Copies of this chain bind each other. A is one copy, B any other.
Amino acid sequence: MRRIAPDRDQLLAIVAEVFREHGYEGASLALIGEATGLGKGSLYHFFPGGKEEMARAVVAHIDGWFEENVFAPLRDSADPLAGIEQMLEATDSYFRSGRRVCLIGAFALDESRDLFAGQIRDYFGRWVTHLADALARSGHRPDEANELAEEAVAAIQGALTLARAANDLDVFSRALRRLRVRLGLPVKT
């Protein structure tokens, strides 16, 4: 074994940005090659499965980031409200306060959903589940916690769509502020 590719993370991040901007169909190998500075030879060396493997790896990479920075705090924080607070901060920074779009959410909408259905369902399912757990631990009734969690994740996705449509980042920050209130967190001044 030679070495672990040192910047596979960075590579995946760049490819992710292309998929985010152009969607699965719109992200051509030419665009990906241009963005990464890699020719087809290199791309197919790293991803023998081609475009589909690239997208799958990107989704897994994003999933891993959320696992570490969003789901883990929800699961592991001794104080559930502190975990929820971390979730919101990580979410805000990940989506760059609304400048960025949720790639997995975008994949969920069109036909590419069929290719990645399992990964997509898993991502959102864990998000809702872990948030619901934290809400239950913070004192909500279980069924109420589930509804609230579903509402919160949907609110984030919807706010991303609306912010992008209106080209107005404030839409997203207003949504996050409402979520703080709704989830029982102190509102930042």
A residues at B contact (CB < 8 Å): 21-26, 101, 104-106, 108-113, 117, 120-121, 123-125, 128, 147, 150-151, 153-162, 164-167, 171, 174-175, 178
Contacts and interface: CB of A to CB of B under 8 A. Distances in A.
A165 B25 contact: no
A162 B106 CA distance: 11
Contacts of A104: 165
A45 to B, nearest CB: 26
Nearest to A164: B108
A173 B71 CA distance: 26
Contacts of A153: 158, 162
| Integer count of this chain's copies in the complex | 2
B155 A154 contact: yes
Nearest to A122: B165
A166 to B, nearest CB: 6
Contact of A165 (B21, B26, B108, B165): B108
B165 A147 contact: no
A101 B112 CA distance: 14
Contacts of A117: 167
B175 A151 contact: yes
25 contacts: A21-B110, A22-B110, A22-B111, A23-B26, A26-B110, A26-B111, A101-B109, A101-B110, A105-B109, A106-B110, A108-B161, A109-B109, A109-B164, A113-B164, A113-B165, A120-B165, A121-B165, A150-B175, A151-B178, A154-B171, A157-B158, A157-B161, A157-B162, A158-B158, A158-B159
Contacts of A101: 109-110
A155 B160 CA distance: 11
